[in-house]
Every structure is written in C-alpha cells, then in structure tokens.
C-alpha cells in the first residue's frame, strides 16, 4: 500500500505536494518522493523515512515548476532502499517521464525477464520500473498512448501517476483495486487540478473533491485542460474492501462512501453477530478500541451493544520504528511503546476489545495480556473483519499463508492463543452488507446488498478473507515483489 498525489497548474506545486503527501502519510512511512516539472525539465527529490523528515525548505525550494507528482511508500520486508523510493524519473528517447504507483503487478517477473532478455537494465527491485521500460520501448506517438500500451501489458493493481514536461496523467486499473480521486484547487483567479489516493489530501490543502477516477479511466491534464480516455477493455469492479476496514483514513471518502460511517456500521454488525457473553447491560461491560484504527468500529459496537465506550488503551503518537529493544526479558516492549493501559477504565470490568484484524496473533495476545494485567476481570476480543486467511498480491505486504494464524488455526485455537475469554470475527456477509449499505447512501447506483445467507463479493476484492483472487497469480520462488518492493 502506498499513496500518490499530483497537481497541475499551481506556482507552489512542490509545497502543495508536500502537504498532500503529509495527509497521505498513513499509506506509507518508509520513503517519500516528489518530482516537479517547469515545462522543460523534471526535478526529483526522494528520501527515506517520513515526509516531514525528508524535505527541508531548501529541498522544496529546489523543486521548481507548477506541476508535480509525489509518492509515499509502504514499509515492506527487505526492500528498504532509496533506489526503490518513488516517483521514478527517467530520461528516454522521447523526453522525460516520472512515475508514482500504488498497487502491485502480478505478472511483474515475466515482464522483467522479457525486458532483461531484450537488454533492459533495471536500477531498482520495484515492479513499477517495468512500466517505465515498457513506455520507453513503445513506438506510439503520444505519451498517453505509450502509457496505455504499457499498462495494457501489465496485470494486477495500479493507481498510477505519470508526469512529463508537459502533462500530468492519472490512471486507475480496469478493476479499480486501489482508490484514486480528482479535485480542484483555486488560487487567485486560477485553478489547479489535483489528484490523490484519498480526498483527505484535498482537505489539508483547501482543494475541493470533484469525483473518483473510475476503474479503467485515464485522466490527462495539460495546457488545454483535462480530458478523459478509456483505453482498456471494461472489467468488473473489484475495489479492495480492506480500504474500508483499515487502510484509508477514517475521515476519507472511498468512492463517495464515508470510511468512518462504514467502520461504525462494521462495529454495529459485529455486535449483532458476536454479542458480549452474559449480556452487556449488567453495568460492568466496557467497549475498548485498539487505537487508532479500531476506534470507529468500537463506537458502533458500543452503540449497538448498549455498553459504554472507553479509551482503555492510550496510544503514543511519538513512536517511530523500533530498531533497538532492551534485553529479551522485558516482554511486550514493542506493543507497550505504542499502547498503554488505562487502569481507571479497565479495572474490575468485563472488557470488549475491538480491533480491525488479526494477522499473526502476536500483537493481539500481548494486548489481551496487557488489559488483563491492568485489572480486567474478563477480556473478550472482537474483530471488525473476517479472519485473514490469504496473502494479498495486489499491493499489500501481508505474510505468507503459513504466517497467518487464521489460515492454520480455527476460532477456538486462535482464542486460546491470544488468551481471550471469547473471540468473535465479523462475517464476510456482514462486512459486504455493511459496506454496501453506506455506499448506497452515498450513491444510489452502488451495488445492492447481498440477500441474507449470501456472501457475494461482486464489486469488491476480499481475497485476503476468501482466497478468491480476481487476477490469478501463481507464486514462484522468484516472487521478489510480493513481499519486498511493491509500489
């Protein structure tokens, strides 16, 4: 998971892009980059770490031009190197081009092998670089045609931005796995076009959200204005449903639907499907979120259960990556750096902990113990998504199946491992129904909710829960990009 931002037609394009990336920081914390254009040349700056740390006033002043694209990269296992930071900016026979990509290409290895056999030399381990080489090899006349030809050869997920000396191009893959939206920013009597992974980036810079870029759409912005092309064969929409569960910021809109309202709806549905054992009206039950991602679902759960919502876990907002831990004897160090128990809210209570997901189970186990050590009489764990049983091949760094606890353990075994008194997950039907309900409020044209007893995933990718992959992929020993360096 990464974040992309672009702007065309603003004299402070670099500064605006910096702010836009700051608003998208939740989508990637490993590296950040900005490339600007002044109409004649591209100027790049990339750095490791957070946006704020990687761009000084001097760096931003050197990024001249009224158009720019930026990228924040998700922290992945083993691919942490400046050469993999985006946007990539290259010179080739037709000029210069920069690329920033959110997603993952499932046929990356086959394409890279083919290109290397033809003599292409790769500078990074990123699947995104394949697109650069395909564009350079294209004989099409216009940059949008070269981009369309290149993207026509790739498979998988991409919400991608291209910047040349003259154009800004935004493209979303035909299945719409990852979000991408367009806005307008007024400055004086002029107006700039902005694009971003989420509209929260528009809120920070004072831009107005206009619409989502549709699956399969190519938006071109140049001196003549904006125009839209549809160069790919239409496909069924497969928006990543986990964007609503966890990835997007709660104050975002994903295809018009409020992420905050979706997450509250997930919590309400979870309370219906997995109520508190012994009832929640005895006066000793509190609903506690795992902050920050579990907060809206916990609000919805408490609402439906009729139990008080309490901030029983306090999150530190000053924790970066932990490179050095003291000796092994200090248990739970990593979790305790991020979360502290609020004993006043937990002592002598039956505590319902609400979180968005369980991956390996190790963090959940530590949180349950932390809450119990703070005096809770009972600890019940509730998860506002179904069990994560399958890895994601479309841009998320999830573990192999062997590392996913729900792939190898049943509900009782997971509950025993995390040491909870009870464990409940939201059903896939409950997840889809809740998301669709909020989507339909935002757009009457959204897909209808499934009938009771169905878990129809039409319109969404939920492969991490179901194993039903919209784009087939067969992992191989060479699968560098799945765990290491996806865009």
* Residue-wise pLDDT tens digits, 250-297: 999 999 999 999 999 999 999 999 999 888 777 899 999 999 999 999
One domain, residues 232 and 257: no
> Cis peptide leading into 15, omega within 30 of 0?
no
The rounded percent of the chain whose pLDDT value lies above 90 is: 80
- Looking at the fold, whether 395 and 457 belong to one and the same domain comes out as yes
Confidence of residue 77 (pLDDT cuts 50, 70, 90): very low
**Would residue 448 count as lying in a domain?**
yes
Q: Is 293 one of the annotated binding-site residues? A: yes
Phi, psi at 54, each rounded to 5°: -95, -10
Determine the pLDDT at residue 270: 98
Count the neighbouring beta carbons within 10 Å of the beta carbon of residue 245. 27
- What whole-number distance in Å separates Cα of residue 174 and Cα of residue 159? 10
Q: Which of 188, 203, 236 is the last residue of a domain?
A: 236
pLDDT greater than 50 at residue 485:
no
Q: Are residues 219 and 261 in the same domain?
A: no
pLDDT given at position 79: 62
In a domain, 352, yes or no: yes
Distance CA(461)–CA(392), nearest Å, equals 10
- Tokens 């980036």 — which residue? 201
Domain limit, last residue, from 201, 236, 271: 236
Query: Is residue 478 situated within a structural domain?
Result: no
Establish if 480 belongs to a structural domain: no
Identify the pLDDT of residue 39. Answer: 95
Are 9 and 136 in contact, with CB atoms under 8 Å apart? Answer: no
The response to whether 356 counts as a known ligand-binding position is yes
One domain for residues 224 and 297: no
Residues 141 and 272 in one domain: no
Task: Evaluate if residue 11 carries a pLDDT over 80.
Answer: yes
> Is residue 99 in some structural domain?
yes
pLDDT for 451 equals 44
Residues labelled catalytic: 2
Q: Which of 236, 267, 299 is the last residue of a domain?
A: 236
The total domain count for the chain is: 2
| Whether residue 222 is found in the same domain as residue 196 | yes
pLDDT attached to residue 454 = 41
User: What is the predicted pLDDT for the residue at 487?
Assistant: 52
Residues 28 and 66 in one domain: yes
Structural domain that includes position 127: 3-236
Averaged pLDDT of the chain: 90
Task: Give pLDDT tens digits for 159-200.
Answer: 999 999 999 999 999 999 999 999 999 999 999 999 999 999
> Beta strands of 296-428 (E only): which ranges?
313-315, 339-341, 350-355, 378-383, 422-425
Residue 27, in any domain of the structure: yes
Instruction: Determine whether the annotation assigns residue 464 to a binding site.
Output: yes
Same domain, 93 and 223: yes
Question: Is there a domain that residue 19 lies in?
Answer: yes
In contact, 213 and 169? CB cutoff 8 Å: no
Q: 65 and 13, same structural domain? A: yes
Residue 484: pLDDT band by 50, 70, 90 thresholds? very low
Q: Confidence class of residue 148 from pLDDT cuts 50, 70 and 90?
A: very high
Return d(Cα 353, Cα 247) in angstroms, integer.
Answer: 20
> Could you report the per-residue pLDDT of 366-401, keeping only the tens digit for each?
999 999 999 999 999 999 999 999 999 898 777 789
- pLDDT tens-digit series, residues 296-322: 999 999 999 999 999 999 998 876 544
Q: Give domain status of residue 163, yes or no.
A: yes
Q: Can you tell me the distance from the alpha carbon of 473 to that of 310, in angstroms, rounded to the nearest whole number?
A: 43
- Shared domain for 209 and 258, answered yes or no, is no
Residue 142 sits in a domain of what CATH number? 3.60.20.10
Give the Cα separation of 262 and 297 in Å (integer).
Answer: 8
Q: For 200-225, what is the mean pLDDT?
A: 97
What local confidence, expressed as pLDDT, does residue 195 receive? 98
Q: Are residues 184 and 85 in the same domain?
A: yes
CATH number for the domain harbouring residue 292: 3.40.50.2020
The pLDDT of residue 241: 96
Rounded to whole angstroms, what are the CA distances from 479 to 40, 49, 79, 133, 263? 38, 25, 13, 20, 33
Sorting pLDDT into bands at 50, 70 and 90, what band is 450?
A: very low
> What local confidence, expressed as pLDDT, does residue 317 receive?
80
pTM flag (> 0.75): yes
Top pLDDT among 482 and 110 is at 110
Residues 172 and 260 in one domain: no
Percent of the chain with pLDDT strictly greater than 70:
90
321-358 residue pLDDT tens: 444 444 544 545 678 788 999 999 999 999 999 999 99
pLDDT of amino acid 333: 65
């Amino acid at each position: 998971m990464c974040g992309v931002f672009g702007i065309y037609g603003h004299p402070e394009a670099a500064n605006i892009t910096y702010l836009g990336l700051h608003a998208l920081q939740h989508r990637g914390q490993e590296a950040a980059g900005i490339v600007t254009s002044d109409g004649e040349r591209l100027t790049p700056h990339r750095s490791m770490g957070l946006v704020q740390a990687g761009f000084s006033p001097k760096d931003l002043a050197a990024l001249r031009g009224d158009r720019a694209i930026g990228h924040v990269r998700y922290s992945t296992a083993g691919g942490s190197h400046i050469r993999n930071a985006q946007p990539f900016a290259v010179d080739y026979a037709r000029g210069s081009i920069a690329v920033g990509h959110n997603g993952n290409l499932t046929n990356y290895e086959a394409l890279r092998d083919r290109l290397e056999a033809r003599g292409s030399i790769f500078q990074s381990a990123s699947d995104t670089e394949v697109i650069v080489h395909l564009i350079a090899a294209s004989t099409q006349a216009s940059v949008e045609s070269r981009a369309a030809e290149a993207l026509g050869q790739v498979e998988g997920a991409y919400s991608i931005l291209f910047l040349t000396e003259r154009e800004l191009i935004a493209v979303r893959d035909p299945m719409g796995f990852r979000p991408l939206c367009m806005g307008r920013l007024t400055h004086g009597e002029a107006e700039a076009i902005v694009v971003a992974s989420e509209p929260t980036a528009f809120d920070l810079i004072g831009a107005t959200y206009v619409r989502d870029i549709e699956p399969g759409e190519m938006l071109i912005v140049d001196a003549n204005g904006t125009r839209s092309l549809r160069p790919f064969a239409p496909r069924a929409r497969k928006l990543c449903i986990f964007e609503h569960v966890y990835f997007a910021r709660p104050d975002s809109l994903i295809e018009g639907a409020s992420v905050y309202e979706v997450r509250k709806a997930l919590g309400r549905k979870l309370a219906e499907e997995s109520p508190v054992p012994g009832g929640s009206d005895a006066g000793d039950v509190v609903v506690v979120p795992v902050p920050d991602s579990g907060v809206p679902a916990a609000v919805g759960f408490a609402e439906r259960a009729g139990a008080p919502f309490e901030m029983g876990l306090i999150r530190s907002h000053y924790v970066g990556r932990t490179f050095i831990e003291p000796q092994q004897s200090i248990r739970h160090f990593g979790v305790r750096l991020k979360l502290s128990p609020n004993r006043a809210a937990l002592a002598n209570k039956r505590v319902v902990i609400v979180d968005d997901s369980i991956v390996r189970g190790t963090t959940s186990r530590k949180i349950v113990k932390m809450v119990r050590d703070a005096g809770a009489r009972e600890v019940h764990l509730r998860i506002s998504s179904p069990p994560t049983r399958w890895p994601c091949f479309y841009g998320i760094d999830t573990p192999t199946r062997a590392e996913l606890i729900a792939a190898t353990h049943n509900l009782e075994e997971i509950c025993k491992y995390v040491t909870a008194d009870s464990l409940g997950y939201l059903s896939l039907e409950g997840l889809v129904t809740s998301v669709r309900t909020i989507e339909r409020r935002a757009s009457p044209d959204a897909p209808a909710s499934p009938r009771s007893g169905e878990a129809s995933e039409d319109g969404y990718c939920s492969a991490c829960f179901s194993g039903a992959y919209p784009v087939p992929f067969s992992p191989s020993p060479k699968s560098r990009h799945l765990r290491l360096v996806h865009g």
